[in-house]
Amino acid sequence: MKILLTGANGYIGMRLLPQLIADGHHVVCAVRDSDRFSIDEETKAQIEIVEIDFLEEVKPDVLPKDIEIAYFLIHSMSSSTKNFDEKEAATAKNFNSYLASTNIRQVIYLSGIVNDKKLSKHLSSRKNVEDILSKGKFSLTVLRAGIIVGSGSSSFEIIRDLCEKLPIMITPKWVLTKTHPIAIRDVISFLIGVLGNEKTFDDSFDISGPNVLTYKEMLHQYAEVRGFKNWVFTVPVMTPKLSSYWLYFVTSTSYKLALNLVDSMKIEVIARDDKLAKLLKINTHSYKEAIEMAFKKIEQNLVVSSWKDSMVSGRFNKSLEKYIQVPKYGVLKDEQTLKIEDPKKVMENIWKIGGDHGWYYGNSLWKIRGFLDKLIGGVGLRRGRTHPDKIYPGDSLDFWRVLLADKKKKRLLLFAEMKLPGEAWLEFKIDKDNILHQTATFRPRGLKGRLYWYSLIPFHYFIFGGMIRNIGKS
């Protein structure tokens, strides 16, 4: 079947795509920016890619007419604390308009569990999107999930940060709210199971794992799986704003996402039944099993996707294109060069930069800079990187964003997403004479930007000099 996959570069879409290809489907991936579609060339050769921003005016003749089934995996919760619901509604309406000229039979929408009488803004928006999609000229299948647990998921990474960094926690009372987690592996099984299944047309289903847990119990069970003990104490009063700041400073989440998550965490999210699991004969995994499976993927370096690579986790709104051309005029630079003996080994070193591997020199100073960035509302260093030795355009890399990663041209270009009085690029390139070029470029914003750069020159001397020497080692 020909299938449209929206949100193809997102956390769920990146997990679903390989399964659809393996099952022999022709997949059309809808992405906003094809330059940051984080897949290898072999996968790209097996799919069709179309560029669509569902928030913009509908353009005719963009989608193939013979699309039969579509997955709607788009949301805007991470991008705004105020009007994400308006964005999601506009996206759903435009999605319907795009599909009106195709042979679409079924749309599969991954939503959230909406059984509580009082819904958060996030869940109300998901329900509203359901209502909009139901007006389309196709059969709608809605899968309503609670917290999704898997390597790279925002829920898993937040729980991981909290438990690994804080053995003793003073928490808001929302940690006593009950929820119904589900393993990412089971979510993919359900998404595949309803594909073209007429028994699921024009219906909605709650999907969940077997355990109903409070957030506090989830924190404790995570610690049990990891082999340590933690203590969680709740306080009766902590405003949503304070709770959001608490999550923001302790974990790798953005403040916008933290605020929206806290709003949702006050609402019980419990599935009504497991009728779809029975229909599709899916045996779901427990919460502890989901944690264990996540760590197996991490230990084997098989993390397929991470919420941290989302553009809304940083400063970018849409395209990388405007930043790829590093400016030459009105900028300040630190340029380092080094003759190298083994370009292949040095390329491997460059491709491992950041994350757990660090920055080759002055890692404690990088961490301090990341902490200071967090204090003023930046992304900090906690995003890390998704893969230990693979980099794709659009990936997050600590407080940088990958603009260009080309091993054939031996070039890596990063753009700073930290809070700065200007714009900053960091480039690594090996030329035909086996000279490694490392260039930090800064375009200051007024006098403040220039003072910032000149105040850091002593640090640049040691950090950038030490970094190129260590990267250049064979």
| pLDDT tens per residue, range 214-223 | 999 999 999 9
Interval 32-46: pLDDT, tens: 877 777 777 788 889
How many percent of the chain have pLDDT more than 90? Answer: 47
In this prediction, residues 334-341 reach a mean pLDDT of 94
pLDDT category at 48 given cuts 50, 70, 90 is very high
Least confident of 54-68, 123-137, 255-269, 300-314: 300-314
C-alpha torsion angle, residues 36, 40, 42, 44 (rounded to 10): -10
Cβ atoms of 121 and 260 closer than 8 Å: yes
Distance CA(88)–CA(75), nearest Å, equals 6
> In the prediction, which pLDDT does 239 show?
67
pLDDT > 70? residue 273: yes
To which residue do tokens 């906690």 refer? 382
Measure the CA–CA gap between 344 and 339, rounded to whole angstroms: 13
The β-bridge partners of 364 are none
For residue 311, what pLDDT is reported? Answer: 46
Ranges of H-type helices in 281-428: 287-299, 321-324, 343-351, 363-375
Tens-place pLDDT, residues 84-102: 788 889 999 999 999 998 9
Longest dimension (CA), the chain: 68
Work out the mean pLDDT of the chain and round it to a whole number: 86
So what's the pLDDT on residue 79?
47
Short-list 152, 131, 13, 135, CA closest to 72? 13
pLDDT at 459: 87
pLDDT value at 428 more than 90 = yes
Helix axes 363-375, 457-471, angle to 10 degrees: 130
pLDDT band at 179 (very low <50, low <70, confident <90, very high): very high
Q: CA 106, CA 401: separation in Å to the nearest integer?
A: 36
Residue 51 burial (C-beta neighbours within 10 Å; 0-12, 13-18, 19+) = middle
Closest CA to 156 of 269, 251, 259: 251
Residues 21, 64: Cα–Cα separation, whole Å: 18
Helix then strand then coil, % of the chain, to nearest 5: 40, 20, 40
Tell me which DSSP letter residue 198 carries. Answer: G
Which DSSP letter does residue 223 get? H
CA-closest candidate to residue 48, choices 8, 13, 19: 8
Q: Which residues of 141-171 are buried (b: 16+ CB within 10 A; e: fewer)?
A: bbbbbbbbbbbbbbbbbbbbbbbeebeebeb
Q: According to the model, what pLDDT value does residue 41 have?
A: 78
Let me know the angle formed at the C-alpha of 395 by 391 and 399, rounded to the nearest 5 degrees: 110
Compute CA 7 distance to the chain's CA centroid, rounded to the nearest angstrom. 11
Q: What is the mean pLDDT of residues 192-201?
A: 96
- pTM (2 d.p.): 0.75
**Contacts of 399 by beta carbon, 8 Å cutoff, 6+ apart:** 369, 370, 373, 378, 379, 380, 381, 383, 416, 417, 418
Look at residue 376 in the predicted model and tell me its pLDDT: 76
In the chain, the amino acid numbered 232 is: V
